[in-house]
Structure 1
């Protein structure tokens, strides 16, 4: 009955209009309060998430943020029924408690017999990557394009090849008691399409903005938009001495006695610089990589595109002594014609790890808006 009401209510509506009917079937399966929709659009961000940050936002102007659409994205993100065997979802690889990454080096999808080729990326502040491309190797042109690829993967959600692709997935979704209602509630008509799935998932993921770490709490007390370097080089009052030493090394250029980390991992989002290239993991590397924001990087390893490092200490060791030459090496990781060798002492290595731990965001990892909505 609820779906039929929505179909009638949606007749003649444009996609910008929304049916007022609460989707009863999905309300029975989830904990979502459809009378008070969660706010994914208006973000209460600190002052230093200003025009310098907004300039990095790759959200498409043609797809304005909408709380109902993002709520649909939340359901899609966690729904195991969107895999061929009801065993995997987006959240299987991108787990909220770990900053939306996977503590496993490579992720299992629909079967334990095969794993993904790359380590699952953290998702916090994904919207602040100006090129807008996605995946470690930048193969998807946008977040919208990226969210489709796990559905086509035979390992992740399983709809590639003989499984029938999106046509078969959409038939499965249409046969549920809740998706026609939910799409009607979000878009004004019950049609389930790949572009709508892309839009909903992308809006949900882009809403995962991280701005509530210990670093944020301290930086909010010293931030000045008119100060040189926006006061990034000032000690933070809530930090220990080692954490402030690590902050100094991270924020300060190599020529000024620092490690230069912030020239690629840009505060306050700690997302990667648009012109960053590869980081010298392997000699002769020709691929130009993307990396996720460093927000919540201390919640779990492993690290790098192939998860080769189990700890942050190993990551720091790479940048101190292990950067390798290759055609794609970022110029900021060179000293003259040679790969950079910082030769950090043990105390400075530990200080950098201590600083990175201050970027953990406990709010994003516990925020109900981004948690599993299903009644299990």
Structure 2
């Protein structure tokens, strides 16, 4: 009996050994490696979740969808993938370009069925703001909601379900058949199924990870301990511009500035330089195309990285792209005309019921330009973790 048991056990062990010799491990990222090569290292993910943030930065949004390295990595792929458009030609990155602080040099970005209705907003530091709504008219209640609205737009990415477009469900079917998405969604969510909510969460994590805190301003702010007083690393002109930015103006009864600074901080709060959520229209009410006025525009990106480190612009400014230089941007606020029909003009621009007249001189304009240039960093334009993972 013992001999028989020994023979059976030996047979089982031998069979098991032979099976192990024939066993080939399945690579859970075979399709990812085949598609992206060394551009994505799933065993050594980039640091998205624990990037250093200066202690003086206190405004945050997105607590309900915290950034993870896994989620942001998937978001990066989605952000650059042209498969998210109906003709496989347009991605999020087509309109939000890293080399331009995730904006566009075109006034209106080109979509699958025409042009966008407003200029593409810069995405830098979108997480560091009190305002949690998105789009120029704040029609998206959150960044998560915003991420798939361009995909669902007929002109932009073409899964609108209108005007002959396929519905968004067709995109989900398409992505569910992509091998690298099966692997990535399984890795991030524990399920390979692609859903809109998962797409939204991953894209939002990637976008919120895009940050810029290596500017001349940040060096000065860290050394000074507050925005008050001159920064030791600033020139006299840059310090004058900072003072003008932070100091409220003094107006007479008819809206003419008689003293003080320019008070830009009233809408763009330092040190994040984000838009105040209660801001109204800034006086620019035109449209990129068509006629009529557009008074619903009250959102704005941070003022950080308005220009590149070399001082050249990251494309036109404002929702219409009508402003093409810092000098023109400052000049717009220098003389505010209350246009007929603009029922949403920010009251901070209409002291005593009149459009503000700042009566800027050349020295003040140049100082403001010098200060705004100190808000630009370097890393956001070149960091690989925010770059296109698809091979050229």
Per the TM superposition, whether the score is higher than 0.5 is yes
Indicate if the aligned counterparts of 1:23 and 1:185 stay in contact, CA closer than 8 A. Answer: no
Equivalent residue for 2:78, pick from 72, 76, 79: 76
Indicate if the aligned counterparts of 1:147 and 1:198 stay in contact, CA closer than 8 A. Answer: yes
CA–CA distance in structure 1, aligned partners of residues 132 and 337 of structure 2: 27
CA–CA distance in structure 2, aligned partners of residues 362 and 319 of structure 1: 28
Aligned-residue CA RMSD in angstroms?
1.9
Structure 1 residue 58: Cα displacement: 2.1
Question: 2:299 aligns to what?
Answer: 290
Question: 1:13 aligns to what?
Answer: none
Structure 1 residue 260: Cα displacement: 0.3
Report 1:330-341 matches (<5 A).
Answer: 330-341=346-357
Moved more, 89-98 or 170-179: 170-179
Question: 1:243 aligns to what?
Answer: 238
Structure 1 residue 128: Cα displacement: 2.7
Moved more, 211-220 or 197-206: 211-220
Equivalent residue for 1:166, pick from 157, 165, 168: 168
Structure 1 residue 222: Cα displacement: 0.3
CA–CA distance in structure 1, aligned partners of residues 273 and 102 of structure 2: 16
Is 1:366 aligned with 2:368?
no
Report 1:1-20 matches (<5 A).
Answer: none
Distance 1:344 1:274, change over 3 A: same
CA–CA distance in structure 1, aligned partners of residues 294 and 47 of structure 2: 43
CA–CA distance in structure 1, aligned partners of residues 28 and 47 of structure 2: 17
Structure 1 residue 272: Cα displacement: 0.5
Structure 1 residue 158: Cα displacement: 1.3
Question: 1:128 aligns to what?
Answer: 128
Secondary structure in structure 1 of the residue aligned to 2:34: helix
Indicate if the aligned counterparts of 2:108 and 2:119 stay in contact, CA closer than 8 A. Answer: yes
Is 1:263 aligned with 2:279?
no
Structure 1 residue 323: Cα displacement: 4.3
CA–CA distance in structure 1, aligned partners of residues 150 and 377 of structure 2: 26
CA–CA distance in structure 1, aligned partners of residues 140 and 86 of structure 2: 23
Q: Deviations over 1:41-76 (max 9, x none)?
A: 113112212xxx2xx322142x33221011100000
Q: Deviations over 1:274-329 (max 9, x none)?
A: 21111122498642510011110123231111111111111111111234354212
Question: 1:154 aligns to what?
Answer: 154
Structure 2, unmatched stretches of 5+, are 1-25, 251-258, 287-292, 309-313
Question: 1:199 aligns to what?
Answer: 201
CA–CA distance in structure 2, aligned partners of residues 151 and 42 of structure 1: 29
Structure 1, unmatched stretches of 5+, are 1-19, 224-230
Equivalent residue for 1:322, pick from 333, 336, 349: 336
CA–CA distance in structure 2, aligned partners of residues 293 and 187 of structure 1: 32
Q: Deviations over 1:133-187 (max 9, x none)?
A: 1100001111111011111112221111233222111111122221111110111
Moved more, 75-84 or 127-136: 127-136
Question: 2:12 aligns to what?
Answer: none
CA–CA distance in structure 1, aligned partners of residues 230 and 337 of structure 2: 29
CA–CA distance in structure 1, aligned partners of residues 324 and 61 of structure 2: 31
CA–CA distance in structure 1, aligned partners of residues 188 and 282 of structure 2: 42
Secondary structure in structure 2 of the residue aligned to 1:339: coil
Structure 1 residue 363: Cα displacement: 1.0
Is 1:273 aligned with 2:276?
yes
Indicate if the aligned counterparts of 1:301 and 1:312 stay in contact, CA closer than 8 A. Answer: no
What TM-score do you get using the length of structure 2 for normalisation?
0.83
Equivalent residue for 1:34, pick from 17, 33, 42: 42
Moved more, 362-371 or 235-244: 235-244
CA–CA distance in structure 2, aligned partners of residues 159 and 202 of structure 1: 19
Question: 2:363 aligns to what?
Answer: 347
Structure 1 residue 217: Cα displacement: 1.2
Moved more, 22-31 or 244-253: 22-31
Distance 1:197 1:282, change over 3 A: closer
